[in-house]
Amino acid sequence: MCPRRNSGRLLGGAKELARLERLVSDAKWDGSSYRAEVYRKFCDYGYHRVVRGLWRKHRAATLSIDEWSQVGRALVGAHLHLDGRRFLGAWRERPGVQMWMIANYALCVSRYRRSHLEELRTACQDALSGLPHDHCASFLAHVLAEACALLGDKEAFLKTWNAYSVYFGAELKNDEYFHPKRRHLLGDIPMMARYLQQNETWLYRKMVWKLRWGSVQPTDTESGTERQLFANFPWWAWWLLFMLILQLFRNSQ
């Protein structure tokens, strides 16, 4: 079965998987766990939108935790972050949730809205304190620290740094997950903690500015295509623009 990134067309072995899914769904017994395996294979080969379409056909059916997690994975893989946030946002109501599922949820949340940052912080805190830690724990710890920083809560940032120190400043193990676009946090978070501990507040604020405007990729999208709002505009360019406007304002007085 050839990989098809976010494809909605079924090719080769994908057609056979779709037939298997229909057989399972038409059976009189509960096929949720079997559909989960079909969805897993579809996601592995990039057929995320196919999973979304199949799930919609069975929306009234009760989802096992495995099927639920694969549907969430498909929504994230298809960059349908609004749908993913709504779907995965009910993770606390699901028994058997694992930490990697919360990592998928974290990828759906915007870093540009305060309400979203608050929910992201709460979700990461609840996951890290209430779920068994797996290969996504380091990622969630860094995301939690970032959310605290972007919310302007230095105390919570340092509390996170101290509580999950085992995940900061260390190299990732081979089996640990860390989203490629967030890997800058591996260096940024320890640097920010050092600035706070040394009372170099200005340098800390500079790093927060960088996180907010230089590295953060907005994920709040309804169409399925990420809007790269300000993402490629470096933080220092914003600072120069601000200083220029300030100087023009002073000269006009």
Reported as a single tens digit per residue, the pLDDT across 199-237 is: 999 999 999 998 887 654 444 444 433 444 444 556 666
**Cβ–Cβ under 8 Å, residues 63 and 87:** no
Amino acid at 102: I
pLDDT value at 147 more than 50 = yes
CA distance 78 to 48: 5
Which of 3, 71, 58, 2 is CA-nearest to residue 31? 58
Lowest mean pLDDT among 49-63, 66-80, 222-236, 238-252: 222-236
Mean pLDDT of 11-38: 67
Mean pLDDT of 224-252: 61
Encode 55-82: b = buried (16+ Cβ within 10 Å), e = exposed: beebeeeebbbbbbbbbbbbbbbbbbbb
pLDDT at 3: 47
pLDDT value at 5 more than 60 = no
**pTM for the whole thing?**
0.77
pLDDT digits (tens, 9 = 90+) for 68-113: 999 999 999 999 999 999 999 999 999 999 999 999 999 999 888 8
Amino acid at 210: K
pLDDT at 126: 97
Q: Is 222 or 53 the better-scoring residue by pLDDT?
A: 53
**Cβ–Cβ under 8 Å, residues 235 and 229:** no
**Cβ–Cβ under 8 Å, residues 65 and 94:** yes
pLDDT at 46: 87
Domain extent listing, the chain: 79-252
pLDDT, averaged across the chain = 82
pLDDT at 132: 95
